[in-house]
Amino acid sequence: MSLPGFFDALTEEHRQTVAKLLVDVEFEAGTTIFTEGDEGDAAYFIDEGEVRIERELPEVDTESVLRYEGAGATLGEVALLDRLPRSATAVAETPVRARTISTADLDDLARRDPAAALGITQELARDATAKLRRLTEQASDLMFAAAPDPVVDELVGRATSAQAAFADWPEDRVDALLGRLTSVFLEHAQVLAEATVEETHIGDAGDKTLKNMVAAQGVYDSLVGKVGAGPIATDEAAQVTEIAHAVGVVFGLVPVTNPVATAYFKTLISLKSRNAVILSFHHAVLGVGNRVGELIRQVLEEEGAPSDLVLWVEKRGSRKLTQQFMSHPGVGLVLATGGAAMVQAAYSSGTPALGVGPGNAPCWIAPDADLAAAAGSIVMSKSFDNGVICGAEHNLVVDRSVRDDFVAQLEGQGAAVLSPTEAESFLAAVVDPATNRFRGEMIGQSAATIASFTGIERPFDIKVVVVPAEWDGEDSALAGEKMTPVLSLFEIGGDDEAIALSLRLLDFMGSGHTSIVHSQDPDRIARFGAAMPTSRILANSPGAHGVFGVTTGLVPSLTLGCGTFGGNSTTDNVTYTNLRNVKRLARLVQPDADHPG
C-alpha cells in the first residue's frame, strides 16, 4: 500500500506500522462524514473526491461553506489533536474515497510504539498549522481589502460594460423587456418551484409556484409605466428637477428559502432602474440559480439587450468570494437578503448596502377580533411555503377573554394547538439544545411532517403547530423567529399587556420587520401601529401575503427593509426606487421682490 505524500517525513518502518492502522472508507455524494460538535474519533486522508467543510449556523440563509478539500488533504485532524468536539461539518460533495485512522488506534500506538505515534502526530499537527497559516492569510485579506480575484473582476467588468450600453434605453423599451422577462418567469414558475424543492428539500412546490408568480407579475405590475431613470419630476416653485440615475452594478444575494422569486424580483427592479445585476445564489440552490440565469440571458439576447446585464456567480460560493464581490469598487450597491451574518458582511463591505433583518412578527388577537377570520388568515399565512416567509406570524399574543374561542377556531382551521405535555415532548424533539433554536432539519418542512416526526396526532390534516408558551425573557426558541409552520401562543390580559409583550418579543428578535393586529377597532389598531417599532404593521391581514402586497397595498417586494429598528437604512419594501441616485437640478431662484435678499 503506498501512503500519501503526507507521510513522507516518517521513516520506512513507521510508515509500515501506520499503514496497518489505516482503514479504507468510501462515502457517497451527499453523505455527512462527520458533524460539527461530534466527538472526534478519527482523522481522514482523502484519496479521491471532494469534501465540503461547513459550519453549522443557526440561520439558513448565511453561506456556511468554509472551503472544499480534495485528494491529498487531511480531514478531522483538529479534534484528533485537541480531543475537543469537531470544529466543522464535513460532507462528501462527490463520491469520496479516503483512509482513516481512529483516535483509539493512535492512542494504542502511542503505548506500543511512541516514536511512530509521535511521527504521525507531528504530521497531523503540521497539517493543522498549515490550515491556520492559510486562515491567517485569508483573515488579513478580509480585513485589509479583499484580495483581487480575476473571476470577480471579470464579472463586475462585464456587468459594468453592459450597464453602460443599457443606461440610455427609453422607458417603453425597458418595460417591453420586463414584460418579456415576466412572461418567461410565469411560464417557468412551476417547474422552477418544483426544482427548488427538489434541490433544497425546503418549502412547498405549490406555494413556491404562487410566490414565483407574484414575484413576476406582481412586481412587474408595480414597475410598468413608472419612470425608472431620467427626469422624474420638477417642483416649479422651487425650480428643482429630480433626475434618477442608476447606481450601476447591483450585487444581489439570493437566499435558499426564496431563490427563484428573489432572483426574479431583483432582476426586474434592477433593470427598471437601469442597473446591471450580479446574482449570488446560496450554494444550496446553484442548480436552480443556473437555470434562472440561463433563462434571463436568453430573453436578454432575444430582446437585443446586452446579455451581461444580468450575471450570476456560477462558481460555488464561499464567504470569501461573496466578500470580494461586495467590496469590489465596481459594485454600486449590495442588495443583501439573507441571514444576519450575510447582512452584516454586506454592511461591513464598504459598499452601500440595503439589508434586511430577521422577522419575528407578534400577532395580537384583540378581544374584538373577528376570531374566525383571524384564525383562517393565520393558518393560511403560517403554513404558506411551510413557514419560511419571514413576514408571517411567529408569535400569537392572545387576549385571555377570547383565548378558548380562538383556540377552537384555530383547531377548526387545521392548527394542532398542543397540550402542555405535548408541548414538552415536541420542544425536546425540535429544538437543538446547543443553539436553542429550531433544528435546521425543521426549516421549511410541512406541519404534517413535523407532527408525525414528533408524534403529534389530530383527527384532521395538520397545517400548523401552535405551542402554548410562557416567557420569562430568556433566550428561547419559541419566542424567536420560526422558519417552520410552528407558532407560539402567549396569553395576555388587556391592551397594555398585549403591547408590552409584543415590544418585548420584538426586542428579543425581529425589531423593525413586521407586526400584526387583529381587531375591528380603528383606535386600537392605530395605538398598536404607533407603538410597534416595525416597518410594517398589518391590520387584519395574513402576514406572509400582506408583507408582499398580495392582501395589502404595500409594494410587492422580496426585500423588506427593517429601518434603524433593525439596523437597516430603510423601512421600505425595497423596489426600483431604492436602486438609484436621485439627483437634483436646482436652477437659480430670483429673489422675491417682497423678500429681497
Which residues contact ligand CMP (rule: CB under 6 A)?
40, 53, 66-67, 75-79, 86-88, 90, 131, 135
Q: Least distance from C-beta 147 to ligand CMP, angstroms?
A: 17
Q: Which CB atom, from 78 or from 407, has the smaller least distance to ligand CMP?
A: 78
CB of 96 to ligand CMP, least distance (A): 14
The sheet carrying 240-246 orders its strands as 230-235, 240-246, 580-586
Could you tell me the smallest distance in angstroms from the CB atom of residue 75 to ligand CMP? 5
For ligand CMP, which is the closer residue by CB, 23 or 428?
23
Residue with smaller CB distance to ligand CMP, 138 or 209: 138
> In whole angstroms, how close is the CB of 119 to ligand CMP at the nearest point?
19
Return phi, psi of residue 245, to 5°.
-135, 125
Pairing of strands 74-75, 333-336: unpaired
Rounded distance, CA 149 to CA 328, Å? Answer: 10
Q: Give the residue from 284, 358, 467 showing the smallest Cα distance to 58.
A: 358
Q: What are phi and psi of 442, to 5 degrees?
A: -80, -20
Pairing of strands 464-468, 486-492: parallel
Please identify, using beta-carbon distances, which residue of 140 and 401 lies nearer to ligand CMP: 140
Q: At what angle do helices 103-112 and 12-21 cross, to 10 degrees?
A: 140
Measured CA to CA, the distance from residue 205 to residue 210 in angstroms comes to 9
Kind and range of the H or E element at 223? helix 219-223
Is 390 a known active-site residue?
A: yes
d(CA 550, CA 526): 22
3-state secondary structure 532-570: CCEEEEEECCCHHHHHCCCCCCCCCCCCECCCHHHCCCC
Q: Tell me which of 390, 402, 416, 467 is the catalytic residue.
A: 390
- State the nearest-atom distance from the C-beta of 90 to ligand CMP, in Å: 6
| Residues whose CB falls within 8 Å of the CB of residue 422, separated by 6 or more in sequence, listed in order | 456
Query: Which is nearer to ligand CMP, 103 or 436 (by Cβ)?
Result: 103
> How near is the Cβ of 541 to ligand CMP at its closest, in Å?
45
Listed in sequence order, the residues at least 6 apart from 44 whose beta carbon sits closer than 8 Å to its beta carbon are: 25, 33, 74, 75, 76, 90, 98, 99, 100
Pairing of β 276-281 and β 249-254:
parallel
Which CB atom, from 71 or from 186, has the smaller least distance to ligand CMP? Answer: 71
Q: How far is the CB of 128 from ligand CMP (least distance, A)?
A: 7
Q: Which is nearer to ligand CMP, 131 or 316 (CB)?
A: 131
d(CA 279, CA 311): 6
DSSP 146-182: PPP-HHHHHHHHHHHHHHHHHTT--HHHHHHHHHHHH
Going by the DSSP 8-state scheme, the letter that residue 227 receives in this structure is -
What single-letter amino acid sits at 100?
Answer: T
Nearer of residues 274 and 319 to ligand CMP, judged by Cβ: 319
E-strand ranges in 49-164 read 51-54, 65-69, 74-75, 89-92, 96-102
Report the residue number, 132 or 428, with the smaller CB distance to ligand CMP: 132
Per-position DSSP letters for 323-358, written without gaps between them: HHHHT-TT--EEEE-S-HHHHHHHHTTSS-EEE---
Beta carbon of residue 25, minimum distance to ligand CMP (angstroms, whole number): 15
From the CB of 89, what's the least distance to ligand CMP, in Å? 7
Distance (Å, rounded) from C-alpha 68 to C-alpha 49? 10
Residues involved in catalysis: 390
